[in-house]
Structure 1
């Protein structure tokens, strides 16, 4: 059973996750006081027509299934309600729109970029708009992940027979979640600097998301995930995120891959480390 995160991580970020699911991507990304809440709303639909999946009832939110690199950019493919329109909207105003076919499949091409981008995913059918959970993150390398407030990032990645750490999420207080892929159903343990910090189990799809029992202190931290099939160890450098003054996201390359500091729907800042470095 996955252990519960620190009280700080739980109270701050899990609350942000609930707010994020209810508010969707139509949130105030530029400030924490609630101003500018229409910045990510689809321009084609007034705010009063929007709802989340729980309110719509019969409409499940859209989601991404795979990504393919092509000369024109990164092609994202996913599923949603048949015959609905689908939209990716960035806080910069960039939008990519398309149509979901009769079989419930859609495809959108995201233009190539030198930086990390965040998008809100939504679809509209019958005058009602349903927001997808979290933010879709796309890196210049073609990596795609769903960033989720108060939870571990979900990377688009193949399955793995041995534990494979794909992301580390940390809040400003050091509360952290380690996520990745392993053998479906495998029991797993996490050690930080050789000290046990979490136990849990991979799901039927092989994904795991393990909350640490203690905050990650600032500095270089050795993280080891072990279980059926072997183990993986990585070293990450932990530091509090600086305030976001130039937009809702700041990204930089680091030794392990990418560090992405991003604003949660609750107005906090969460750091996601996208792990690309091989195990050592």
Structure 2
């Protein structure tokens, strides 16, 4: 099939690479416009654009998908299918109706659960036992189209937003190729979503990571893992931000207020939560490098009784 691929971040890369290596022909890539980043405001290509250029594939970066020039370019290409994964823009109906086999999205959840921009992280934060990939036909709604194929994956106790991102990215690449084969052979089965079973996974904001020590320890540990590596869970040590990269719920009963450092061990420090405590194992103080808690304790003198968080 003649494929137009739409995607932007690292999550999309394995799927594009799998398409390039397949029997299908990727005739064009559509990605978000380049943006200046960093102190020098250097313009960086999106990860998808990097792959496209290295494979001599035409790249389109419209500000709006409704632009006349872009629409005409897509009509001229006349793709058999448009594949969309983590693109970050809503497709207008004119584009949705263009390909012979429609527009197929690779979504990082077991729909209809976790529609929206942050399904990977929210599945961990909310303590789900599993998540997965769903391929689906796109319509004018937000992740509301008919489902095609699914593949589930267990969420391990050690999974972070980053590790789950990588697992699902690779699963999505394989599942997309399988989906295209069934679509082309007319053996695919469309399943309508039950919107009554849907949940929404909103875009992540940095403020989400501000730890509320009144919460139960297990909820805080899930937040830490879900927001690792971005935007990260954090608290305040004095007037400085202290990012928390890893923690472990412990059953030891300590007296103290939520947010209070109640014990200091060789491999970390224990913080009282609304219920139970959490052993902090990896941190990053504002202006410093990320490090294990034991390394942090060798260079920074914490005291039992100190209270973390804004006061």
Higher strand content, 1 or 2? 1
Larger radius of gyration: 2
Per the normalisation by structure 1, the TM-score is 0.29
Q: Which has the higher helix share?
A: 2
